[in-house]
Structure 1
Amino acid sequence: MTVDDARPWGYTWRSSQRFIIATATTSLFSECFLFGFVVPILPYMLETRLALDPSQTQNLTTTLLTLYGAVSLVSAPFIAHFADKTPSRKGPLLLALAACASGTVLVACAPAVWVLMAGQILQSLASASVWIVAFATLVDNVDERSKGKVTATAMSFVSMGIFAGPMVSGFLLQLLGYWPAWSAALLLLALDFLARLLMIETPSPRERQPPAAEQAQEQAQERAPLLPEPEHEADDPNPAPAPPRGFYKIMLTNPQILASLFNTLALSMIIAAFDTTLPLHVRDAFGWGSLPVGLIFFGLQIPTIALGPAVGLLRDRIGLRYPTTLACAAMAPLLWLLALPGAHGVPTDQTGKGIYIAALAGIGLCMAFTRGAGTFQMMAVVHVLEREDPNLFGPYGGNSRLSGLSELPFNIGMMVGPLLSGSFSEFLGYYWSCVVLAVVAGAVAGTSWVYLTAEGVQVREVEGEV
């Protein structure tokens, strides 16, 4: 029997880097899709299925979504820690998917509020696991040359999931009914499960080599003489490598990592602030209803979806500093411009509407160049550290903990952003709320210039030839 005969069906494409990356990206898409999927259905569930008073809908909706984010925030570091202790990504992916499907069914069938909350908790735990393990799978299988392209493309699919989830559920609920709407979520989970079953993991470079301690010990034994010699510990040319150090201690004392976390936190706060303040402002200022608001949010996502691969290629070629810094610096005055209609004598007529739409278009374009920048820099730092010391974060690396760490500031920003922007808008007005966001964008531009120094492939190649 030949080696090819012993391999399972479709081994070549099932174990290919492209298929594994596509499977991980699909998982990221499905996690974001399911997060927003329930939002348009919640009022129907609470008021029709559970027969609650409509006056409780807003409060319960806020409670359920906050609970989802809080559970994900608390559980992510623990999930990432244990995920890095396992040599395989496929098993945890399948387990997370099973938990996600169970949580989805529990939410859809909930006969009481407490069951709905239990389903949200299970779904949140499963979604955090999906994100962490899927992102770690992505990082495991991306090489240095295509790091920017792959991560930016993945962020495009994440943006598509965030937008498509509520759009699909609202559309199906209105046209086909409650259970046909949930069938779309279950179908996506089934396809995701099938892709993960088909995926065949290939050993990473880390797994192909023996651990550093064993390798040093084997080399020392091969060179040892037949008769023992007196020990000279100080002259040992092959000392045993140091034990793995604490991942979070190393990360949180690195200024580039701290700047990356701030970048992710600040930009997620800006995104969440739009969700909180924009619908009410455009209704009061311009008289726009739900359809124009939906088109606005769609327009904000289009540049990220359309330009994701191109932005990734740009990062791979020239590095991270210039695109991120320039985009954040441009976003600051655009956020201020967004607040002008209705303030300082600027009218809210066609001129004001034109200014507002132009500012939004510019902000959407800037977001395409800033989204995922913090994660890109963190990946670069971890790759450099593990290249210098492969045993630094343990035998299976630290990619799962990297994923959990990158998700942490995003979740905090999505929770804190609405609170801060809503408070500023209520007590100081929409103008000063946008001014605060502009200051935050300017601060991100400054830290990006100083600390987001991940270089492009061409720069590294030139330096290597010198």
Structure 2
Amino acid sequence: MMSKLFHVSKEKPYMLKVRASGWMIMTTVAVAVFTDIFMYGIIIPIIPNVLVDRLGVARSMVQKDISLALLVYAAGLLVASPIFGYLADLYQNRRFFMIVGLLALLGSTIMLCLARVLWLFILGRLIQGMSGAAVWVVGLALVTDSFPEENIGKMMGILSSSMSLAIFLGPLIGGVVYARAGYYAVFGILFGLICTDLLLRIFMLERKELEKRNPPLEEESALESDSGSAGVRVTTGNSAAPPDCSRTRPRNTVPKKQLVGFKLLKNGRMVNGLYMGVIIAWIFTALDAMLPLHVETIFHWGTLGSGLVFLPIALTSPISPLIGFWIDRRGPRWPLAAGLLLACPILVLLRLPDNGSIGHIILLFALLTLLGVSGCMLMPSSMAEISTCVSAAERKKPGIFGKGGAYGLAFGLFNLAYSAGSVFGPLFVTGTKEWGTATWALGLICFVSAIPAILFTGGFLFNTRASTRVEVCEANSITQPETEEVELHAFED
């Protein structure tokens, strides 16, 4: 039923190919990511004024309610991420769930626009977070479905650039438009962006749906030629692919969907990738909660200045695709570790700008620029690591996650971890009210987290046993029953 919901009959083949092309899919997901982060960020610089002037919150409660607004957004992500991940893999229709998520975003935006009481504003933020889960879970799974594994790092770098650009433009446009044209003008921009995003999501076509409507002739001929030879392995990919050692032991290759999550979580490499998602979200959501109010207190900036303070972070966004190229060739271990180690001293030094002098303003902007470089290393690396974990398992044990695969659920778990970090960030700010103490503690968290990033990203740093066994198996076509040793290292390359 769902697969036919957006079916257009008698559509010309060339138009179907345009709708399912790589650039169309990438553009749609990048715009979806931009829309989600832009909607999240445009509220940040205007929250203090909205809470006081529009919702009647006492100024002494502003920091607490800012943290609450960020917290409920993260709670929405936390609740909806595994649900969207499960359903997207179960029904194999990514586009449908992306459209459902955008309609939820539209509803939440209407709530925020009309809110005159705090509870309605908070409810809007909660639904906004739930809609964001569709973008991050389903969108990332769609990109992974649509591009070869060797290009995933580059694609995640492009998405990270879109996210970084939205992180800057959201607060900047929110501060400028609110200061010049008022509250409703901000939401006029949001509704226009949602309409553009909706058109792209409707127009885009998944490649799996294109193949159902118009199967590639090359694949059909390959299947016909291979089916005539007994004992020859049928494939539409690389004909020189090594034999699979696990095929000698009969086993059910279509596991129950509810067990896929346990298969993912029992592996140390995947758990480490999820932990990195928690830490990255913790750091940046804590800064989102603290930075606007801090610059207002120290530099006496209004909503415009609170938006401009995010400019240095956004200017570094073109670096993300370059990091993605590195990840595709060398893996995510060292960019992830370098990003955490770079963020550590930067966060500690953020305590130094403490007055409104030009020198201190320049120092703050320089530190935030370096922090943006760190973020460009962290996000593509962590997302690519989640994708390659699933790809490695599928390569070594085809069908281990069933017909629907596990990319949706894997990114659902990653979004769940990221949401947990987004909860810890605002709570951390509420519990640590002094700016210098908070930045010092965040720097320490980055330093400690760099250790597991070095040791476990891409597989255990000093473990050659599993990879050696797989190489021997592929070279000699071993037909012995697989052991638990291979099972334990199924995700490691």
TM-score when normalising by structure 2: 0.75
Equivalent of residue 457 in structure 2, options 442, 445, 452: 452
Measured after TM superposition, the shift of residue 421 of structure 1 is: 4.7
Is 1:241 the equivalent of 2:252? yes
SS of residue in 2 equivalent to 1:107: helix
Residues 69 and 124 of structure 1 are in contact (CA less than 8 Å); yes or no, is this contact kept in structure 2? yes
Equivalent of residue 302 in structure 1, options 290, 315, 323: 315
Is 1:414 the equivalent of 2:422? yes
Is 1:379 the equivalent of 2:387? yes
SS of residue in 2 equivalent to 1:396: coil
Which deviates more, 393-402 or 416-425?
416-425
Residue in structure 1 matched with residue 76 of structure 2 by the alignment = 71
Equivalent of residue 375 in structure 2, options 355, 367, 376: 367
- What are the within-5 Å matches in structure 2 for residues 334-353 of structure 1? 334-339=346-351
Q: 1:164–1:12: structure 2 CA closer, same or farther, 3 Å change rule?
A: same
Residues 169 and 182 of structure 1 are in contact (CA less than 8 Å); yes or no, is this contact kept in structure 2? no
> In the aligned structure 2, how far is the partner of 1:433 from the partner of 1:190?
39
Is 1:189 the equivalent of 2:174? no
Equivalent of residue 178 in structure 2, options 156, 160, 173: 173
- Specify the code of the residue in structure 2 equivalent to 1:390: P
- Specify the code of the residue in structure 2 equivalent to 1:244: P
Identity %: 25
> In the aligned structure 2, how far is the partner of 1:374 from the partner of 1:146?
15
Residue in structure 1 matched with residue 286 of structure 2 by the alignment = 273
Equivalent of residue 152 in structure 1, options 151, 154, 157: 157
> In the aligned structure 2, how far is the partner of 1:58 from the partner of 1:408?
25
What does the per-residue CA deviation read over 1:324-362, in whole Å, with 9 as the maximum and x for residues that have no partner?
2233223323333444567xxxx9977766665544433
Residue in structure 2 matched with residue 396 of structure 1 by the alignment = 404
> In the aligned structure 2, how far is the partner of 1:250 from the partner of 1:393?
8
- Specify the code of the residue in structure 2 equivalent to 1:320: P
Which deviates more, 60-69 or 45-54?
45-54
Q: Which has the larger radius of gyration?
A: 1
- Specify the code of the residue in structure 2 equivalent to 1:325: A
Measured after TM superposition, the shift of residue 77 of structure 1 is: 1.4
Residues 145 and 316 of structure 1 are in contact (CA less than 8 Å); yes or no, is this contact kept in structure 2? yes
> In the aligned structure 2, how far is the partner of 1:53 from the partner of 1:334?
33
Which deviates more, 170-179 or 69-78?
170-179
SS of residue in 2 equivalent to 1:85: helix
- Specify the code of the residue in structure 2 equivalent to 1:69: A
Q: 1:20–1:49: structure 2 CA closer, same or farther, 3 Å change rule?
A: same
What does the per-residue CA deviation read over 1:177-200, in whole Å, with 9 as the maximum and x for residues that have no partner?
443321211111111111122112
What does the per-residue CA deviation read over 1:233-284, in whole Å, with 9 as the maximum and x for residues that have no partner?
xxx9784534416222222221111221222222222223323444565666
Is 1:405 the equivalent of 2:413? yes
Residues 19 and 203 of structure 2 are in contact (CA less than 8 Å); yes or no, is this contact kept in structure 1? yes
Equivalent of residue 19 in structure 1, options 16, 24, 41: 24
Q: CA RMSD in A?
A: 3.8
Residues 264 and 372 of structure 1 are in contact (CA less than 8 Å); yes or no, is this contact kept in structure 2? no
Q: 1:206–1:447: structure 2 CA closer, same or farther, 3 Å change rule?
A: farther
> In the aligned structure 1, how far is the partner of 2:54 from the partner of 2:363?
43
Measured after TM superposition, the shift of residue 111 of structure 1 is: 5.4
What does the per-residue CA deviation read over 1:125-169, in whole Å, with 9 as the maximum and x for residues that have no partner?
222223322222112112122111110110111122222223223
Is 1:132 the equivalent of 2:132? no
TM-score when normalising by structure 1: 0.78
> In the aligned structure 2, how far is the partner of 1:349 from the partner of 1:43?
24
SS of residue in 1 equivalent to 2:199: helix
Q: 1:38–1:17: structure 2 CA closer, same or farther, 3 Å change rule?
A: same
- What are the within-5 Å matches in structure 2 for residues 206-225 of structure 1? none
Measured after TM superposition, the shift of residue 382 of structure 1 is: 0.5
Q: 1:41–1:282: structure 2 CA closer, same or farther, 3 Å change rule?
A: closer
Residues 167 and 310 of structure 2 are in contact (CA less than 8 Å); yes or no, is this contact kept in structure 1? no
Residue in structure 2 matched with residue 226 of structure 1 by the alignment = none
SS of residue in 1 equivalent to 2:91: coil
Which runs of 5 or more structure 2 residues have no equivalent in the other structure? 1-8, 217-222, 232-246, 461-466, 476-493
Residues 37 and 168 of structure 1 are in contact (CA less than 8 Å); yes or no, is this contact kept in structure 2? yes
Q: 1:5–1:263: structure 2 CA closer, same or farther, 3 Å change rule?
A: closer
Measured after TM superposition, the shift of residue 86 of structure 1 is: 0.8
Q: 1:335–1:167: structure 2 CA closer, same or farther, 3 Å change rule?
A: closer
Measured after TM superposition, the shift of residue 16 of structure 1 is: 0.8
> In the aligned structure 1, how far is the partner of 2:183 from the partner of 2:357?
40
SS of residue in 2 equivalent to 1:241: coil
Is 1:443 the equivalent of 2:469? no
> In the aligned structure 2, how far is the partner of 1:398 from the partner of 1:269?
26
